[in-house]
């Protein structure tokens, strides 16, 4: 249940959405704000992690100091990061023409937000650990220990446990930062929030550019909802702005929307067949690759069949035959070819069928693998699978897409491509 306090925070900081994960993150931020505990905010790029340090600062006792500094650790070169964070003395390095207090000195008594903390060099991580443990640091080029009283809130889209395993992040620093974890859910897990955010951005851009707001029809809304949004809220906002500026028609159709939405990335691409899904450890860039896999399986089966035929024919040759008619009885009818001028196959001196249209045996058996690639069209297979799924569900694309285990957007594109509409 959403409390009035959470609703007030949403209004104050412009947060749109009612997803349970989002409300939970806001609630944790409000609860931890009055303390001085370190907070680690995790989530994919573009989910809006930068809002939560502001919430924590504004609901803390440190808000009266008005010292809130946000630092993008990934945007500062490795050679200058220590100087930026902890300051330096005059002449400490080339170009240090004066003293610099550094962000930890400037933020004394307030809050410092370290965005992309997973990008910090190991040497800087050791300095940061000391600040967290004792509030002490040393400027670059100095031997004097400085003291600071700051609240540290960090954020990252990097899996820090993997970084620790790879030796790129200190484990002790991770547990110092992760005193209180806050996880921001990706946009694809926020359900109806996607439509709410689209309408909010559309209205904002309409006011900014003084034009009517764009609107999605029913089918376009389904496509918007089904897309995985790898860039999260940032990507949705950018696409909404592009459509608002470029399109003259304010009623957005599926065709218009799809021209702005890029193809789904491989990590979110659905599998067409259950046996080739991610559960088996495989991912595919497109449905076409899955069809290739099906053909490869078919080729393997044909190869096994060919080996079986070889084996059977070998056994037959090893067995003595008294008459040609008895030997012919062991061969499948399909392998005996009759010349046009004869009513029965020609036999050689050993009683085996031979002429121009000879029986295919042993090493003369043609490789069936070549025929698989020549006789099967990937497009025809794909078209037929889609057609059968649509017939099965009486044209209902939603259920046909579920049956094929692909997204509705992909199915819609394939229907247009193959002219099945």
pLDDT tens-digit series, residues 65-108:
879 999 999 999 988 999 999 999 988 888 778 888 899 999 99
For the chain, what percent of residues have pLDDT higher than 70? 76
pLDDT band at 289 (very low <50, low <70, confident <90, very high): low
The encoded tokens of residue 355 equal 């002429």
Mean pLDDT for 228-248 is 95
CA 221/CA 247 separation, integer angstroms: 17
Q: Where are the domains of the chain?
A: 4-185, 189-262, 292-375
CATH number for the domain formed by residue range(s) 189-262: 1.10.8.60
**Statement: residue 31 has pLDDT above 50:** yes
CATH fit for domain 4-185, picks 3.40.1010.10, 3.40.50.300, 3.90.79.10, 3.40.50.2300:
3.40.50.300
Per-residue model confidence (pLDDT) at position 233:
96
313 C-beta neighbours (distance < 10 Å), count: 19
CA 114/CA 104 separation, integer angstroms: 11
CA 95/CA 296 separation, integer angstroms: 63
Mean pLDDT for 5-14 is 95
pLDDT tens-digit series, residues 48-63:
999 999 999 999 999 9
């Amino acid at each position: 249940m959403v409390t009035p306090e959470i609703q007030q925070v949403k209004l104050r900081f412009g947060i749109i959405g009612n997803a349970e994960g989002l409300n939970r993150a806001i609630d944790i931020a409000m609860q931890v704000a009055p303390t001085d505990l370190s907070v680690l905010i995790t989530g994919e790029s573009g989910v809006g992690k930068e809002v939560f340090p502001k919430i924590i600062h504004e609901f803390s006792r440190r808000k009266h100091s008005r010292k809130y500094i946000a630092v993008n650790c990934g945007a500062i070169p490795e050679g200058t990061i220590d100087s930026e964070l902890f300051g330096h003395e005059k002449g400490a390095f080339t170009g240090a023409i004066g003293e610099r207090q550094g962000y930890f000195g400037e933020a004394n008594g307030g809050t410092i937000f370290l965005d992309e903390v997973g990008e910090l060099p190991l040497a800087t991580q050791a300095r940061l650990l000391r600040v967290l443990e004792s509030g002490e640091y040393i400027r670059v080029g100095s031997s004097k220990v400085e003291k600071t009283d700051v609240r540290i809130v960090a954020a990252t889209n990097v899996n820090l446990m993997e970084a620790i395993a790879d030796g790129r992040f200190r484990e002790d620093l991770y547990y110092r930062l992760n005193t209180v974890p806050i996880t921001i859910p990706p946009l694809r897990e926020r359900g109806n929030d996607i439509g709410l955010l689209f309408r909010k951005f559309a209205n904002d851009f309409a006011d900014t550019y003084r034009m009517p707001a764009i609107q999605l029809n029913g089918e376009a809304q389904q496509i918007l909802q089904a897309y995985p949004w790898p860039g999260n809220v940032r990507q949705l906002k950018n696409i909404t702005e592009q459509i608002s500026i470029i399109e003259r028609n304010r009623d957005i159709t599926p065709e218009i929307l799809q021209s702005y939405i890029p193809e789904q990335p491989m990590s979110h691409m659905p599998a067409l067949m259950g046996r080739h899904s991610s559960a088996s450890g495989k991912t595919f860039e497109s449905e076409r690759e899955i069809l290739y896999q099906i053909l490869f399986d078919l080729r393997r089966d044909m190869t096994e069949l060919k080996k079986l035929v070889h084996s059977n024919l070998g056994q037959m040759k090893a067995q003595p035959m008294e008459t040609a008619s008895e030997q012919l009885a062991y061969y499948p009818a399909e392998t005996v070819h009759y010349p046009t001028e004869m009513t029965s196959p020609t036999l050689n001196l050993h009683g085996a069928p031979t002429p121009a249209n000879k029986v295919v045996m042993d090493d003369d058996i043609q490789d069936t693998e070549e025929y698989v690639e020549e006789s099967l069209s990937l497009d025809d297979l794909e078209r037929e699978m889609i057609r059968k799924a649509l017939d099965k569900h009486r044209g209902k694309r939603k259920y046909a897409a579920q049956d094929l285990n692909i997204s509705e957007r992909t199915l819609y594109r394939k229907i247009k491509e193959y002219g099945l509409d």
